[in-house]
Amino acid sequence: MRATDTIFALSSGAPPAAIAVMRISGSNAFCAAEALAGRVPESRRASLALLRDAAGMELDRALVLVFPGPNSATGEDLVELHLHGGRAVVRAVSAALAAFPGLRPAEAGEFTRRAFLNGRMDLNEAEGLADLLSAETEWQRRAAGAMMGGAFSRRIEQWRQEVLVLSALTEAELDFSDEGDVETQNNHKISEGCKKLHDAIRTLVEAPGVEKLRDGLRVVLGGPPNSGKSTLLNALVARDAAIVSDIAGTTRDVIEVPVSIGGMAFLFLDTAGLRDASDDRIEAIGIERTRAAMESADILLWLGEEGTGPDRPHLVEIEAKADDPAHQRKGSRAVKVSAKTEEGLAELVATLTDTAKELLPPPDQYATNARQRDLLAQCVTALAQAASAEDWLITAEHLRQSRLVLDALTGRAHTEDLLDTLFGRFCVGK
Ligand SMILES: Nc1nc2c(ncn2[C@@H]2O[C@H](COP(=O)(O)OP(=O)(O)OP(=O)(O)O)[C@@H](O)[C@H]2O)c(=O)[nH]1
Ligand SMILES: [Mg+2]
């Protein structure tokens, strides 16, 4: 793989489709367009052209768009061919391009990698783009859009500038202290500045991450056998995902059902009923899994006797089977539901979405991923050390460290491994 090759790939979805978009990027892109279309059309304007291969055989009548670098998506000369989206058309045009000297099929994420290397986007924006392409819910789309739009990167750049100012002040102190140990007001300015920055970044590190948005909030249904967990799960996800029966111990394994409610992703988990099952090995294993699932829950819907569930936040007491006169009563805090008549179901869903809004990164806040949080946490540590150091030399060094991690965050400082991992997440053509 060479970064100077001209690359091409189908950038639209799998054919057949109405239109297939083939992208070509690199120094030979315009030559390839000229060879296929007979001319290089006017920049940034859609032009209709008859495409032919090297032997003069007609391939397709297509729209051709050319974007001269460096003001293109990849930062290189870029061509888009909007073809008729049939499999044979795409295959024939791909073959004609592959036959062209200096052209080769792109690898996964290679267009975006070039955009990054050419300074068209930074790492956070590239990660936002990857998230946007895989977004399935409204909240995922909004968070990814904010990340891709560069709002987060601008905030990082602002913090980086603040660190630079603090570093400059520290350097001045260093010079000054050579000439005699005179306290200046800079002293206060530096430690206050470090603390302020430290607090701002720590708030972001502690805020909910993007993973919850992506994987869905885990809502676990727990309680004794026959309490109505599986029936309630089926009602919540509006399909018969779990087997229901009046035999206690029907559910033996954890059943996971992903759903989107109110634009947010949830993962519902039905579990084996909790009871003493020492004489049934398989049920005992199921109950172990129930306990693990309950521990991993973001929200626990508790169908057991009131107050007997684990002591944890976001436990919702459920008074199930409300339509059954003989059902187990609970206090006024409980959500009263009947999976049979659907009484109380809307209220339960509202409780879930309200809790989700507390647990998920709000649309107006940055949803950071593990890489970003890890680096931000390192920055927080470095700033705390910078603020508390007794020696200007040490403060200067910790400030330098915090700037380096902010550089790593945007990709100003990056490693090839990191790029391989990130851009490997993309599909071919992106
Ligand atoms: N009347 C009424 N019966 C219900 C309701 N929900 C569940 N049941 C009945 O209660 C019995 C047990 O329901 P399940 O959903 O299988 O209970 P479970 O908690 O999943 O039980 P295990 O899988 O054994 O742990 C079944 O006979 C259901 O038809 C309800 O809302 N109203
Ligand atoms: Mg069940």
Q: What is the CATH number of the domain that holds 235?
A: 3.40.50.300
Is 108 known as a binding-site position?
no
Does 351 lie in the same domain as 399?
no
Q: How far is CA 85 from the centre of its chain?
A: 30
For 379-390, write each residue's pLDDT tens digit: 999 999 999 998
Per-residue DSSP letter, 185: T
Model confidence band, residue 422 (pLDDT cutoffs 50, 70, 90): confident
Enclosing domain of residue 345: 213-359
Q: Is the pLDDT of residue 176 over 80?
A: no
Q: Is 273 in the pocket of ligand 1 (CB under 6 A)?
A: yes
- Name the percent of the chain lying above pLDDT 90: 82
Per the CB < 8 A criterion, the answer to whether 3 and 117 are in contact is yes
- The answer to whether 366 and 146 are in contact (CB under 8 A) is yes
Are residues 345 and 285 part of one domain? yes
pLDDT reported for residue 225: 96
Establish if 308 belongs to a structural domain: yes
The verdict on residue 427 lying in a domain is no
Claim to verify: residue 227 and residue 103 sit in the same structural domain: no
In a shared domain, residues 23 and 110: yes
**Residue 145 sits in the same domain as residue 77:** no
Query: How many whole angstroms from 160 Cα to the centroid of ligand 1?
Result: 57
Of the ligands numbered here, which is closest to the C-alpha atom of 248? 1
Total count of domains within the chain: 3
Strand order in the sheet with 19-25: 47-52, 58-67, 78-84, 19-25, 6-10, 103-105
DSSP 349-376: HHHHHHHHHHHSPPTTS----HHHHHHH
- Across 9-23, 178-192, 312-326, least confident range: 178-192
Expressed in angstroms and rounded, the spacing between residue 315 Cα and the centre of ligand 2 is: 19
318 C-alpha to ligand 1 centroid (Å): 13
Task: Give the residue-averaged pLDDT of 113-136.
Answer: 93
- What is the tens place of the pLDDT at every residue in 235-263? 999 999 999 999 999 999 999 999 999 99
pLDDT band, very low/low/confident/very high, at 178 (cuts 50, 70, 90): low
Atom of ligand 1 nearest to the CA of 340: 31
Q: How does residue 175 score in pLDDT terms, banded at 50, 70 and 90?
A: confident
Residue 221 CA: which ligand 1 atom is closest? 19
CATH number at residue 109: 3.30.1360.120
Of the residues 294, 324, 359, the one at which a domain ends = 359
Which among 113, 123, 118 is positioned nearest to 407, based on CA atoms? 123
d(CA 43, CA 46): 8
- Examine the pLDDT at 93 and tell me if it is beyond 80: yes
225 and 276, same domain (yes or no): yes
Sheet strands (E) in 248-399: 255-261, 264-270, 299-302, 315-319, 335-336
Q: 345 in ligand 1 pocket by Cβ < 6 Å?
A: no
pLDDT category at 153 given cuts 50, 70, 90 is very high
- Using CA positions, which residue lies closest to atom 14 of ligand 1? 228
- Give residue 330's pLDDT: 96
Residue 373 or residue 428, greater confidence: 373
Q: Per DSSP, what are the bridge partners of residue 22? A: 10, 81
Q: Do 147 and 258 belong together in one domain?
A: no
Are residues 221 and 335 located together in one domain of the fold?
Answer: yes
Cα(297) to ligand 2 centroid in Å equals: 17
In this structure, how many other beta carbons lie within 10 angstroms of the beta carbon of residue 254? Answer: 16
Select from 400, 409, 395, 394 the least CA-distant residue to 205. 409
d(CA 20, CA 17): 7
Write down which residue in 121, 150, 179 finishes a domain.
Answer: 121
Residues 250 and 351 in one domain: yes
Pair (287, 338) in one structural domain: yes
Residue 428 lies in a domain: no
Q: Which atom of ligand 1 is nearest to the CA of 246?
A: 27
Confidence check: pLDDT of 424 > 90: no
Ligand 1 and 245: CB distance under 6 A: yes
For 395-407, the pLDDT digits (tens) are 999 999 999 999 9
- CA-nearest of 163, 50, 152, 138 to 96 is 50
Would you say residue 185 lies in a domain? yes
> Is any atom of ligand 1 closer than 6 Å to the C-beta of 208?
no
Q: In angstroms, how far apart are the furthest CA atoms of the chain?
A: 87
Choose the final residue of a domain: 121, 136, 154.
121
Predicted confidence (pLDDT) at residue 107 exceeds the cutoff of 70: yes
pLDDT digits (tens, 9 = 90+) for 34-91: 999 999 999 999 999 999 999 999 999 999 999 999 999 999 999 999 999 999 999 9
* Domain match, 235 and 355 both: yes
105, 159: one domain: no
Looking up residue 399, the CATH number of its domain turns out to be 1.20.120.430
pLDDT of residue 274: 95
